[in-house]
Structure 1
Amino acid sequence: MAPAPQPGMSWRRWAHLIIDRGAGDDLSVRLVHGGLVLLIIVNVAALVLESVPSLAAAHGRLFFAIELVSVVIFTLEYGLRLWTAPEHARYRGLSDNAARRAYALSAPAIVDFLATVPLYTALLGYNDLKILLLFRLLRFFKLGRYSPGMTSLAAALTAERKALFACLVILIGVMLLAATAMHFAEHDVQPEKFATIPDAMWWAIITLTTVGYGDVFPTSPLGKVVASITAIMGLVMLALPVGIIATAFAQEIHRREFVVTWSMIARVPLFSGLNAAEIAEIMRVLRAQSVRGGAVILRPEEPAQALYFVASGEVEIMREEASETLEEGCHFGELPLDTKAGRGGLAARAKVPSKLLVLDPIDFRALTSRYPDLAAHLHRLAP
């Protein structure tokens, strides 16, 4: 069971961290998100198995129980996300009602809402509508919220939508050319299969997509030549969108990590005067660290011997005169440029489960030893 919120944290903030953010390796977050992922998988499996008449007749009550429990949990999840929407960084500048309205109109919220529709419509007597099967299947796309890879893939598809649309246009054009050529080559030989261009379009699209059912095929020498050229073009048409998507996916993952890390490093006054190549070298030696909520990162009696970047979560910095909360993108700690120990007096504690990027002095000195120009530049910038 998830622990109660820490002192000074509202219940809404605590619920937002559990249901939405999931930063760090907190057990409660892993249990909640893991349970929701498992429930989605069970739902999709039940939907598939329920389509088998013998299984539906033998286990109808079990399938209904799964549907009932799932919709109750999905409804609670949707309500929690709607209630905690003002805590989301994207909507913090809005009023509570405006934030909830903006979240309700977002794509993930619409999927969450439609996932709860089937049972309620069935209770109203509309359980024979076939479209309800599509709504139940939409629950599969809820997995995208818990998978950074699927989120990156969706972003890559959005970024390359124009190129993918161009591939579709090219595919349609090649299909029309192939169908027209096959119609003129085979309409006298096989009038029942290639009598018209629309009849030949089925053969063209099946050949271009390299499926080749074999229900329609050319028999004349000219038709076989057209089919050979079409098959070769099909390989090109298949490789083109695959290459675009694969490249965009890799670039999206690299871009997301690069931009976030770059912005954090560039904010450090010591590194603000570095060029792109020098910052990129520093990024290579960063070490990832996950901390639980409430965990101590630095103690006041210990000298600061590393530079910490907050990748996600919140870290409370406590000094003798005051304390402050650092959010995503901020940094703290100290990176000595010589062999002397850093200064003490700084305490740091993770307020919520957080992920940090750590720049250790040993790794940094190894880097500067390989790049003397970088070391000289940093010593000039050092206060």
Structure 2
Amino acid sequence: MNLASKPSALERATRSDAQRLGRPLTGWRLKLYTVIFEADTPAGRTFDLLLISLILASVTVVMLDSVAGYRQRWGPVFDALEWAFTVLFTLEYIARLSCVMRPLRYARSIFGIIDLLAILPTYLSLLVPGLHALIDVRVLRLLRLFRVLKLGAYVEEYGMLGRALLASRRKILVFLSFVLLVMVVMGTLMYVVEGPANGFHSIPVSVYWAITTMTTVGFGDITPKTELGRFIASAMMLLGWGTLAVPTGIVSAEFTALRVRREPTTRTCPACLSVGHEPSARFCRDCGARLPRYFTDTEA
């Protein structure tokens, strides 16, 4: 038996990680993967800025194309630009699939579906003219800014906010119940004070007015005419400022209690594609897979 032909323990571990994580280890796929998914390098930031510009330009074309005057004058130009954007986004989608070792996992992810929906309507409108109305789905490209701008790196902060809302749900529910009670009482009072002659035809209509007044919306379709009614309305408007501030204070207090300092990054787990891992992390916090080495600007 030729012992030299046997892979070492390190080689076996490296192959095992590659198969499990789906991240390319060498070659052009690794370079492309680092630029697209872990854009903490100059090349990655340049790619992101270029992609942001293309997305904003594409959405601008979609919006201008919906204006009848612009469409009549610049229709052929808009069509040519749209196809150019679609081809570029198609190439980018193919590049994302080709640089990961598990393309189906990315294709089934949220951003993979968004990428597909951003280019699919253009091709469908060509094959099936009756589906041209779906062309406005291209505005979904804006959702890709959340990934390109690396807001996913703050996923931990999003989780903290969700936990703060969950922890304060009982307080908020009690507060909203109290506000609803006040709305019913004030609406009934205004129904008695103003009456149907001044537009308060029923208690539900008066409660609707109380809600719009307390929230400082004030549509103006119903307004008090008597002096007492205006005094009550003024008091409700002033009370509305404090009413809107209470839920914010409740959630802010819970959020502060849960807040921890973390350094957001664009580090991506090749197994589940979750982002925002700390530079010193060794395993994915979502799926538990081993994370590859994290590259910085100085190492790129």
TM-score tier by shorter-chain length is 0.5 to 0.7
In the aligned structure 1, how far is the partner of 2:140 from the partner of 2:107?
16
Check 1:198–1:57 CA distance in 2 against 1; reply closer, same or farther (3 A cut). farther
C-alpha distance after superposition, 1:264-297 (max 9, x if no partner): xxxxxxxxxxxxxxxxxxxxxxxxxxxxxxxxxx
Bigger proportion of residues as strand: 1
Tell me the TM-score normalised to structure 2 length: 0.64
Q: Residue in 2 aligned with 1:181?
A: 186
1:121–1:127 Cα contact (<8 Å) kept: yes
- 1:162 equivalent to 2:179? Answer no
Match of 1:327 in 2: 293
1:22 aligns with: 39
Unaligned runs of 5+ residues in structure 2 are: 1-24, 266-277, 281-291
Q: CA deviation at 1:143?
A: 0.9
Hey, what's the Cα distance between the residues in 2 that align with 1:355 and 1:247?
A: 39
**1:110 is the counterpart of 2:113:** yes
* Contact 1:111–1:142 (Cα < 8 Å) also in 2: yes
Which residue of 2 is the match for residue 142 of structure 1?
Answer: 144
CA contact (8 A) 1:185 1:220 kept: no
Q: Within the alignment, does 1:239 sit opposite 2:245 as a pair?
A: yes
Runs of at least 4 residues off by over 4 Å: 153-157, 163-173, 240-254
Change (3 A) 1:205 1:62: farther
Aligned mates of 1:181, 1:217 — CA distance in 2: 14
**One-letter amino acid of the counterpart of residue 49, structure 2:** G
Kept in 2, the 8 Å contact 1:43–1:67? The answer is: yes
Matched positions, count:
248
Q: CA offset at residue 38 of structure 1?
A: 0.4
Cα distance in 2 for partners of 1:243, 1:355 equals 42
CA distance in 2, matches of 1:108, 1:251: 32
Q: TM-score, normalised by structure 1?
A: 0.52
Letter in 2 for 1:47: V
Name the residue aligned to 1:74. Answer: 89
For residue 171 of structure 1, report the CA deviation from its aligned partner.
4.6
How far did 1:16 drift?
0.8
1:252-291 equivalences under 5 Å are: 255-257=261-263
Describe the shift of the 1:178–1:140 C-alpha distance in structure 2 as closer, same or farther (beyond 3 A): same
Match of 1:10 in 2: 27
Show structure 1 runs of 5+ residues with no match. 1-7, 87-95, 260-309, 313-325, 329-351, 357-383
Q: Please, which moves more after superposition, 107-116 or 241-250?
A: 241-250
Aligned equivalents of 1:172, 1:132: Cα separation in 2: 43
What letter corresponds to residue 38 of structure 2 in structure 1?
Answer: R
Match of 1:331 in 2: none
Q: Relative to structure 1, is the Cα distance of residues 198 and 251 closer, same or farther in structure 2, using a 3 angstrom cutoff?
A: same
Paired position in structure 1 for 2:220: 214
Report the 3-state secondary structure (helix = DSSP H, G, I; strand = E; otherwise coil) of the residue aligned with 2:263: helix
| Superposition pairs of residues 296-311 of structure 1, within 5 angstroms | 311=279
What are the Cα deviations for residues 284-338 of structure 1, in whole angstroms up to 9, with x where unaligned?
A: xxxxxxxxxxxxxxxxxxxxxxxxxx938xxxxxxxxxxxxx823xxxxxxxxxx
Query: Structure 1 residues 59 and 239, CA, compared in 2 at 3 Å: closer, same or farther?
Result: farther
Quick check: 1:122 aligned with 2:125? Answer: yes
* Root-mean-square deviation over aligned CA pairs: 4.0
Q: 1:252 to 1:165 in 2, by over 3 A?
A: closer
Give the whole-Å Cα distance in 2 for the aligned partners of 1:251 and 1:109: 35
The CA deviation at 1:22 is 1.1
CA–CA separation in structure 2 for the residues paired with 1:42 and 1:212: 37
Instruction: After TM superposition, give the deviation of residue 180 of structure 1 in Å.
Output: 5.6
Higher RCO (C-alpha under 8 Å, 6+ residues apart): 2
Change (3 A) 1:255 1:13: same
Report whether the alignment pairs 1:47 with 2:62: yes
Q: In percent, how many aligned pairs have the same letter?
A: 30
* More helix per residue: 2
List per-residue Cα deviations over 1:316-364 (Å, max 9, x = no partner). xxxxxxxxxx823xxxxxxxxxxxxxxxxxxxxxxx65468xxxxxxxx
Where 2:279 maps in the other structure, the secondary structure is: strand
Q: Take 2:222 and 2:178, find their aligned partners in 1: how far apart are those partners? A: 21
- Structure 1, residues 13-48: CA drift from partner, whole Å, max 9, x if none? 2221121111222xx323321111001111232233
Distance (Å, rounded) in 1 between the aligned partners of 2:144 and 2:110:
11
Q: Name the SS of the counterpart of 2:96 in structure 1.
A: helix
